[in-house]
Amino acid sequence: MSDQGYRPPFYLGIDLGGTSIKSGVVDGDWRPLPKPAASVDTPTSRVKSIHDEALDALQRAADHAIEASGLAWSDIEAVGVGSPGTMDIPAGLLLEPPNLPGWEHFPIREVVADRLNKPTTLQNDANAAAYAEYRAGVGRGTRSLVMFTLGTGIGGGIIEDGRIISGRHSHGAECGHIIIQMEDARRCPCGGLGHLEAYASATALVKRAHEALDRGEESALRARAAERHLTARIIDEAAEAGDALATRLMRETAHYLAVGAVTLIHTIDPDIVVFGGGMTAAGPSFLDAIRAGIRAMAFPVPAARVRVEYAELGPDAGFIGAAGCARQEREATITVGG
């Protein structure tokens, strides 16, 4: 790989998702090899524990990534795994991740370390994505970053002075589950009331569109809703085409996200707030609406200075960040040990 200038240290990242496991190597300059990541299907089972199959799948994904990178396993310093919750990060243990049936109580860090014979780090996937944007994406050069990942739900990651806030009970940076409304509040899929995710996820946006249509509001969205084809993307496209209801729904979504961002600006006060995930396909006008809300609601000094941007790395952020977490942990250990 020397003709492309990749240079050590090399870390392998594994991004464990409900449908696929993506893996790739990141070089000393945080460049991914390969890009896009190598991928294998995620085995799941609703009837039994499948820890052996799970480990085999993780190894296959990692082996594919090594092969695609042109490196040897001996070039790899350590392995990072990013996983959806719930988990016990210090124990390296998955608990009961809703999107990974059959993986419950899987001691993932230890078994991956044993199988791949590499020091292994476990991190929440949203925290890993935030770390990737901080190191290799739109947050390069900053010291603190708050990230919202907008998809079916809303994930989050917080980097403060270069360190991931994963929380004392591995429940830090659940930025979709901050409370933005107390009275007559919407219920979140997690069961909580008034959470940001209940207002501003793609799922919530579609739900709010159906509610408005059910109230009889006129909109180009009505035909698609009747076909049960309403999606966040379609609502955004209707807004771009000038549909009044769709425009209002997108503007409200931006406002809800700005409210959530202001709460984190008034507590973390980061260099940059980053929005990632599928809903960023809505493009610059949606980002500008979020920015305008933040400028209007945050304290003057951070309102004037905080950067508000879309993420840069797309779906590769998962494995880049997982590898980055492994690197961070290893370098911290070496520093302390040395």
Interaction mask 143-162, its own copies, x per CB under 8 A: xx-----------x-x-xx-
Piece of 15-23, 115-123, 176-184, 324-332 that binds its own copies (CB under 8 A): 176-184
CB 168 to its own copies: min, Å: 5
Tokens read off for 149 = 């990942």
Nearer to its own copies, 184 or 227 (CB): 184
As a three-state string, the secondary structure of 303-333 is: HHHCEEEECCCHHHHHHHHHHHHHHHHHHHH
Q: Which residue from 263, 243, 264, 261 is spatially nearest to 253, judged by alpha carbons?
A: 261
Figure out which of the listed residues 183, 214, 242, 337 binds its own copies, where binding follows CB under 8 A: 183
Figure out which of the listed residues 102, 107, 192, 315 binds its own copies, where binding follows CB under 8 A: 192
On the question of a cis peptide bond just before residue 152, with omega within 30 degrees of 0, the verdict is no
Interaction mask 88-117, its own copies, x per CB under 8 A: ------------------------------
CB 333 to its own copies: min, Å: 15
CB 203 to its own copies: min, Å: 19
Size of the site for its own copies (CB under 8 A): 50
Start-to-end Cα distance in the chain: 31
CB 186 to its own copies: min, Å: 11
Which burial class, exposed, middle or buried, applies to 143 when counting CB atoms under 10 A from its CB (0-12, 13-18, 19+)? middle
Binding positions for its own copies, 305-324, rule CB under 8 A: 305-306
CB 82 to its own copies: min, Å: 18
Q: Residue 37: phi, psi to the nearest 5?
A: -65, 155
Nearer to its own copies, 99 or 231 (CB): 99
Figure out which of the listed residues 102, 107, 302, 315 binds its own copies, where binding follows CB under 8 A: 302
Q: How many CB atoms lie within 10 A of CB 231?
A: 15
Figure out which of the listed residues 7, 140, 169, 187 binds its own copies, where binding follows CB under 8 A: 169
Binding positions for its own copies, 57-86, rule CB under 8 A: 86
Report angle CA 102, 169, 146 to the nearest 5 degrees.
100
Residue 183 contacts residue 169 (beta carbons within 8 Å)? no
Piece of 10-18, 44-52, 165-173, 280-288 that binds its own copies (CB under 8 A): 165-173
> Which residue carries 């007559």 as its tokens?
184
DSSP 33: E
Q: Which residues contact 114 (CB under 8 A, 6 or more apart)?
A: none
Give CA–CA dist 112/92, Å, rounded.
Answer: 10
> Which residue carries 């840069």 as its tokens?
312
Binding positions for its own copies, 240-299, rule CB under 8 A: 255-256, 259, 262-271, 297, 299
Q: Which residues bind its own copies (CB under 8 A)?
A: 86, 143-144, 156, 158, 160-161, 163, 165-175, 177-184, 190, 192-194, 255-256, 259, 262-271, 297, 299, 301-302, 305-306
